[in-house]
Amino acid sequence: MKLNPANWLTLSVFAILLSLTVGAIPSSAMAVSATLSTPENLLRQMASMTPDDCSPPGPSGSTVDARQSEDLLFRTVEDLVIDRLNGASPAQTSDADARARSALLDVERLSSEINKSWPVEERFHFEVLALHPAILVRMSYRDQASLFLSGSFYLDKNAAVDPGTKWREVSFADLGSRVSGIDLFPLHRGPSGRPRFLARVWRSGCAGSIGEAYYGYEWTADAGQLSTLIIKIEGAEGLDDAASKHVGKLSTSGKTIQLPYCFFSAIDTWDNPTLCAADSFDLSGDDPRFIGRTYNAPDWVVVNNAIQHAQARDYLALRGYCVSDAVARKLVREIPPYLFADVAETLKASSTREKVVLEEGAAYFNLVKRRGEWRLESFKIVNER
């Protein structure tokens, strides 16, 4: 359909008015950003807050949005580091660490003074990991942490006007923004020498269990502003970490690494993961390779996986944990949608036979070991206790 000139004029005027109206409505983030654009101003604004989200509010009754302010502080510090790295001219490998640290030390000193009434660990702190040609920074403030990777690269090698090599932020996949704690580990680079690192991440609230995860990344200047996720493991820690039977040992140096973790399952008795594992990876090549997984209780893994696949009505997956089609089909028919293991125990009959009892006898699973692998031989589920 064609429009006459009058209609075009009407639409053009409407578009201009709409753009002016939208531009005239500042978001709260834009308003905060405009007035509190420096780390010092942000630190002073947040000084009236409690040192963490779980403390009772103080008498000042601060109305500061803690999360928005923390996110803005981290972003502002990131900009400060980038500015310091580029300076009058972009930093070279030899002085990049020093420039980044100088910017971060300035913020740390400010926080030490402004937040002197807070516990030391809740003030602004940082760690710098040199991954040349990149700089990795971990920052923490109050009960939140943030990760920031900066690399030296061309923004667009095919641009009509050569933008030159400058320090710029590199993005992450999956890590997310709300993180309680981060540990950093450099990883073996492989034949191509691409920078690699591992972030061990915790996520927690004011009560309950803690999320624990590993994220491994690789970056090359040719990739520009994007990093590659090469390892991802998401697990958990319970209210009593000692109640979980860990397996393996954290090892991040060398060509072979091992990452231990626990995870919630269908056979947990409380807010503590019953099952734990350790995953191993070979980093000797340019493509990291998963080697294998070790469990703390392979027999209980069979019970957990059988329950989960049966509840999902996934017969094909379930069949791999049962001695026969009949057992798998029966479990799919009889498994309740929820099965809580208030009590879980193993009754050994021999080295190749045992019974796993859940809910004080409300459900039991008979296992048999064949060719070194545990399989579900029979089961009984009592619908009413």
Three-state SS annotation for the chain: CCCCHHHHHHHHHHHHHHHHHHHCCCCHHHHHHHHCCCHHHHHHHHCCCCCCCCCCCCCCCCCCCHHHHHHHHHHHHHHHHHHHHHCCCCCCHHHHHHHHHHHHHHHHHHHHHHCCCCCHHHCCEEEEEEECCEEEEEEEECCEEEEEEEEEEECCCCCCCCCCEEEEEEECCCCCCCECEEEEEECCCCCCCCCEEEEEEEECCCCCCEEEEEEEEECCHHHCCECEEEEEEEEEECCCHHHCCCCCCCECCCCEEEEEEEECCCCCCECECCEEEEEEEECCCCCCEEEEEEECCHHHHHHHHHHHHHHCCCHHHHHCCECCHHHHHHHHHHCCCCCCCCCEEEEECCCCEEEEEEHHHCEEEEEEEECCEEEEEEEEECCCC
Cβ neighbours around 252 below 10 Å, total: 20
Q: Amino acid letter at 203?
A: R
Task: Name the token pair of 363.
Answer: 């459900």
- The pLDDT of residue 269: 83
Query: What's the gap between Cα 316 and its chain centre?
Result: 31
Note the pTM of the prediction, 2 decimals.
0.83
- The pLDDT of residue 335: 94
Q: Are 33 and 42 in contact (CB under 8 A)?
A: no
Task: Name the token pair of 259.
Answer: 């990452």
- The pLDDT of residue 159: 54
CA dihedral 300, 303, 306, 308 (to 10 degrees): -80
- The pLDDT of residue 338: 85
Q: Amino acid letter at 200?
A: R
- Please work out, in degrees rounded to the nearest 5, the angle formed at the alpha carbon of residue 326 by the alpha carbons of 323 and 332: 100
* Burial (CB count within 10 angstroms: exposed 0-12, middle 13-18, buried 19+), residue 355: middle
Segment-wise mean pLDDT, segments of 10 residues, the chain, 385 residues: 40 38 40 65 92 73 74 95 93 91 97 96 96 94 94 69 76 80 96 95 83 94 88 89 86 97 90 93 96 96 97 96 97 91 90 91 92 96 67
Closest of 144, 210, 206, 208 to residue 177, by C-alpha: 144
- The pLDDT of residue 18: 38
Q: How far apart are CA 85 and CA 101, in angstroms?
A: 10
Cβ neighbours around 228 below 10 Å, total: 14
- The pLDDT of residue 13: 36
Cβ-Cβ contacts under 8 Å for 47 (sequence gap 6 or more): 114, 115, 117
